[in-house]
Amino acid sequence: MDLCSFCLKSGILCQKCSTKVKSGEISALDLKVAHVLLSLEEKYPSLQNVYFHKTIETDRTLAIVVGPGDVPRLLGYGGRIMKALVDETGKNVRVLEHGVDDRKFLEDLFAPVGIMTINTIWLPDGSTETRVILKRRHGMRSSFDANDLKEIARIVRSITLRVEFAD
Ligand SMILES: [Zn+2]
Which mean pLDDT values do the consecutive 10-residue runs of the chain (167 residues) have?
A: 72 85 87 86 87 90 92 90 92 93 94 92 96 78 78 95 89
pTM across the whole model: 0.85
DSSP, collapsed to helix, strand or coil, labels residue 75 as: helix
Ligand 1 centre from 25 Cα, in Å? 13
**CA 63 to centroid of ligand 1, rounded, Å:** 24
- For residues 59 and 92, is the Cβ–Cβ distance under 8 A? no
Q: In angstroms, what is the span from residue 38 Cα to ligand 1's centroid?
A: 15
Task: Report CA(14)–ligand 1 centroid distance (Å).
Answer: 4
Q: In 3D, which of 133, 67, 137 has the Cα closest to residue 95?
A: 67
Q: Please tell me the distance between residue 162's alpha carbon and the centre of ligand 1 in angstroms.
A: 41
